[in-house]
Amino acid sequence: MTTADGVTVPRTSPRPNAALTGGPISEGRRRRRRAENIRGWVYCLPFLIAFGLFLIWPTIYGLWMSFTGTSLAGTKTGFVGLANWTEALGDANVWTSLANTAVFTVLSSIPLVLIAMGLAILVNVGLPGQWFWRLAFFLPFLLASTVVSKFWNWMYNPQLGLVNTVLGWFGITGPAWLQDPSTAMISVVITTVWWTIGFNFLLYLAALQNIPDQLYEAASLDGAGRWRKFRSITVPQLAPTTVLVLVLQLLSSLKVFDQIYQMTSGGPGGDTRPVLLYIYEVGFTGYRLGYASAISYIFFFMIIIVSLAYMVISSRRSVKA
């Protein structure tokens, strides 16, 4: 940042009076600096209070809770050492829910990146009806998870839903999509792709519009075909966006809760239960807040690993660039 004192102070203090009297300069400066110190903190204070109280404190307090037997009923808050942690590491449900989270993340992230890119490229060709494409693909992103789940629960309804009705026209008896272990996860993934693709789509669209036209013009002069230009201009130019979109997508898919809670409650038989849902069940349905905190932290560490991986990748990229 270029706000070092050396740059700003000479410019803001061409005060002849102060400059003339020598000694008081530093006195005035010190006073001003003290005032600036106080003012800086005062301006930051409202945010910092909220930040400390609702983000930093729960982060620390949650860690403490993971070493206690805190329950929802407020009883037995004693220190239990590592008991929650060892239990969590040995709890098959923790691992299956982490595995479900991973499966959901992979299954949803791939189409959410690739289809978003494809849609953005198609829309960016400059076909007429731009507002309509944006509306269609982006609109679902604005809907609350509950609304989306209601729409799709209704689509997937085994007897009355549109999906099985349409399949029925072709003589196919569709499964009970959300209740059948073999289709539940993929059904939730389809809903998620439908719901959130608009966000990635917009990021790609913005990235495409930032590719300088000259690159394509130059390539045309060199006689490059459409495919050639796509391969050697569009794809590489989109690479940074793809890394960004992919990481954002991974991070948001890992945090999946809403639509799964609302559509399957983690069922059938826990087959779609992600780790956040398990934390909710353990902590609030099962009353064991302390244990839920321990699981939260295990999950937290995994998120940090993904974030750090991104930082390493992106810093390596910038070094290369």
264-303 binders of another protein (CB under 8 A): 265, 267-270, 276, 279-281, 283-289, 292-293, 296-297, 299-300, 303
Q: CA–CA distance from 184 to each of 42, 143, 175, 278 (Å)?
A: 52, 22, 10, 17
Residue 76 near another protein by CB under 8 A: yes
Rounded Cα distance, 316 and 143, in Å: 37
Of 19, 27, 30, 33, the residue at the interface with another protein (CB under 8 A) is: 33
Residue 143 near another protein by CB under 8 A: yes
Torsion angle (degrees, nearest 10) of CA 71, 77, 78, 79: 70
Of 26, 43, 114, 235, the residue at the interface with another protein (CB under 8 A) is: 43
Cα within 13 Å of Cα(107), Cβ side: 18
Ranges within 156-195 binding another protein (CB under 8 A): 158-162, 165, 176, 179, 194
Of 140, 175, 185, 272, the residue at the interface with another protein (CB under 8 A) is: 140
Q: How many residues does the chain have?
A: 321
Task: Mention every residue, 6+ apart, whose C-beta is less than 8 A from residue 236.
Answer: none
Q: CA–CA distance from 222 to each of 217, 225, 228, 230 (Å)?
A: 9, 9, 11, 14
Residue 114 near another protein by CB under 8 A: no
Between 109 and 161, CB nearer to another protein: 161
Closest-CA residue to 234 (of 120, 110, 315): 120
Between 107 and 148, CB nearer to another protein: 148
Rounded Cα distance, 283 and 285, in Å: 6
Tell me the two tokens of residue 151: 């729409």
Rounded Cα distance, 72 and 63, in Å: 16
Tell me the two tokens of residue 2: 């270029």
Q: Of 17-25, 97-105, 213-221, 313-321, which segment contacts another protein by CB under 8 A?
A: 213-221
Between 47 and 321, CB nearer to another protein: 47
Residue 106 near another protein by CB under 8 A: no
Least separation in angstroms between CB 139 and another protein: 7
Burial label for 135, CB within 10 Å (0-12, 13-18, 19+), is exposed
Residue 222 near another protein by CB under 8 A: no
Rounded Cα distance, 265 and 283, in Å: 15
SS3 label, residue 212: coil
Between 61 and 316, CB nearer to another protein: 61
Of 19, 53, 82, 235, the residue at the interface with another protein (CB under 8 A) is: 53
Q: Of 22-30, 98-106, 151-159, 313-321, which segment contacts another protein by CB under 8 A?
A: 151-159
Q: Of 21-29, 100-108, 207-215, 312-320, which segment contacts another protein by CB under 8 A?
A: 207-215
Residue 36 near another protein by CB under 8 A: yes
Least separation in angstroms between CB 107 and another protein: 19
Count the helix, strand and coil residues of the chain and give each as a percent rounded to the nearest 5.
Answer: 75, 0, 25
# residues contacting another protein (CB under 8 A): 131
Least separation in angstroms between CB 98 and another protein: 13
Residue 95 near another protein by CB under 8 A: no
Residue 8 near another protein by CB under 8 A: yes
Least separation in angstroms between CB 57 and another protein: 7
Residue 252 near another protein by CB under 8 A: yes
SS3 label, residue 6: helix
